[in-house]
Amino acid sequence: MNEGMLKPGIAAERLAPHQYEENFSDLHAPLAEHEAQVESERCYFCYDAPCQTACPTAIDIPLFIRQISTGNPLGAARTIFNQNILGGMCARVCPTETLCEEVCVREEAEGKPVKIGHLQRFATDRAMQENAQFFERRPATGKKIAVVGAGPAGIACAHRLSMLGHDVTVFDARPKAGGLNEYGIASYKTVDGFAQAELEYVLAIGGITIELGKALGRDIFLDDLVERFDAVFLGVGLGGVNALRAAGEEAEGVADAVDFIAELRQAEDLSGIPIGRRVIVIGGGMTAIDAAVQAKLLGAHEVTICYRRGHEQMGASEFEQDLAASRGVVVRHWVRPVRVLSENGTVTGLELEYTRIRDGKLVGMGSTMTLPADQIFKAIGQTLEEEHADGLELEGGRIRVDENGRTSRSKVWAGGDCATGGDDLTVTAVANGRDAAENIHASIT
């Protein structure tokens, strides 16, 4: 984009209309049938496969790939959904390069793993396109379970409970169900309304009622849910955002990256979203990468990620970091924000202090640098909202749970990002919800 075409400050319509569609098209094109066949035949179908061990949901990866190789993609989808009912979304957003594909024997031998994520998408997409349903509800048990949060953990929990014959009511504070999958993932990773399409596919099992606009601590309360239902599962995520702890962060132009991503996901016209000419993103995780890349795709001229530690300590995967670099995002390591610069209450830049590790601790070096900015996004982690704790025992700012997802309170389970063991991955949240559902079932029947 030419310098002269850029508008000063924060503005919408920085690009030609056709560029938005191009920029936010599918990050990975789906495999064609022949491509899936060829790729599946690269698998060694290992006994005690390391890829399966590395998968948080323990999908039988060699089996589903063999099923694809023998022309049975629906059988492959069944194998995937048996362990991960949101396998379609996970195929799109799971960091396979640091999980199953990282330990693939082909990766060890050739530096080129089997494209497990692409093959998983091929199989699950086929099942959804053909509306192939693999699960039926068991005879009704008469038990009722409340699930709070319609994100990956909550939906996985609800589906498994419904399959086991229980009636489930899912409450969610937002106007749409889906949680992270609907509001928190970069638009180019899940195009064409996939999150809602997958949700409809999963809910087709029946026995699940969703009530939207119901927030825990505002519209519904844990004491009441415990009294009305046989069990309660909390999959509320982390709704609070950490403070930047930098002077002047209240200036106009400082925003939360999660809100920015949510706005993008819900926008009908991306050209109407204003973006700064020079954007800074604070953080080193997947949210920071998603915000930074999308800022660039919206037409920001300069986008810089600032992270207080080094490249190796970033929460974002190597692939995500490379993706940001390929889109022109600059990453500065070993700097932390100390002061937001502003004029008339509006952001003009950010002062950062250089950092280092001393005696095992991160410390400032006393010297600073300044970067100009029109817009600053905070992607420095989220916290459990106080009203979601509601008397539950916490650990490290999350709801403490045991290995079965049980909380300190009778009849209450939790999973996903809000609970100990959560790691901000959709696939882990699905595993938490599924496993908690099995324990709930064992406890109430």
Q: Which domains does the chain have, with CATH numbers?
A: 33-129 (1.10.1060.10), 144-239+384-444 (3.50.50.60), 242-381 (3.50.50.60)
Looking at residue 7, what is its pLDDT? 52
Given the structure tokens 């409970």, which residue do they identify? 161
- CA angle, 234 then 165 then 76, to 5°: 85
Looking at residue 208, what is its pLDDT? 98
Looking at residue 57, what is its pLDDT? 97
Q: What is the pTM of this model?
A: 0.93
Q: Whose CA is closest to 14, among 273, 190, 343, 324?
A: 273
**DSSP code for 417:** G
**Cα dihedral sign, 379-384-386-388:** positive
Looking at residue 387, what is its pLDDT? 81
Residue 172: phi and psi, rounded to 5, are -145, 145
Looking at residue 8, what is its pLDDT? 62
| Cα→Cα distances 192→21, 159, 321, 428, Å | 11, 23, 25, 24
The residues near 348 (Cβ < 8 Å, ≥ 6 apart) are 341, 342, 372, 373, 374
User: Could you give the angle at which helices 61-69 and 73-83 cross, rounded to 10 degrees?
Assistant: 170
Collapsing DSSP to helix, strand or coil, 23 comes out as helix
CA 152, distance to chain mean position in Å, is 9
pLDDT in tens, the chain (445 residues): 444 444 568 999 999 999 999 999 999 999 999 999 999 999 999 989 999 999 999 999 999 999 999 999 999 999 999 999 999 999 999 999 999 999 999 998 899 999 999 999 999 999 999 999 999 999 999 999 999 999 999 999 999 999 999 999 999 999 999 999 999 999 999 999 999 999 999 999 999 999 999 999 999 999 999 999 999 999 999 988 788 889 999 999 999 999 999 999 999 999 999 999 999 999 999 999 999 999 999 999 999 999 999 999 999 999 999 999 999 999 999 999 999 999 999 999 999 999 999 999 999 999 999 999 999 999 998 888 888 888 899 999 999 999 999 999 999 999 999 999 888 899 999 999 999 999 999 999 9
Q: Whose CA is closest to 78, among 17, 124, 21?
A: 124
pLDDT 10s digits, 327-362? 999 999 999 999 999 999 999 999 999 999 999 999
| Cα→Cα distances 401→90, 388, 415, 438, Å | 24, 14, 8, 15
